Amino acid sequence: MKNRLKVLRAERDWTQAQLASALGVSRQTINAIEKGKFDPSLPLAFKAARLFNLAIEEIFNDEVEAL
């Protein structure tokens, strides 16, 4: 799953550890999500969306092409 987490985090000048703390996960989890190696759970995606004040779709993209 593609996401804008790294960009959003960088815009706020947050480290992976700071974002992880705000979301209640490990820094390794944030690293894996940013690299597309791990898809967040729905509750975690909602938490991130609330933190950045965005819709989930503005952060995460399932890469499905529109027909």
| Predicted confidence (pLDDT) per residue in 3-59, tens digit | 999 999 999 999 999 999 999 999 999 999 999 999 999 999 999 999 999 999 999
Query: Domain locations in the chain?
Result: 2-54
- Give me the DSSP letters along 9-67: HHHTT--HHHHHHHHTS-HHHHHHHHTTSSPPPHHHHHHHHHHHTS-HHHHEE--PPP-
pLDDT beyond 60 at 67: no
2-54, which class in CATH?
mainly alpha
pTM over 0.95: no
Q: Which residues contact 63 (CB under 8 A, 6 or more apart)?
A: 1, 2
- pLDDT at position 53 is 98
Distance CA 47, CA 53 (A): 10
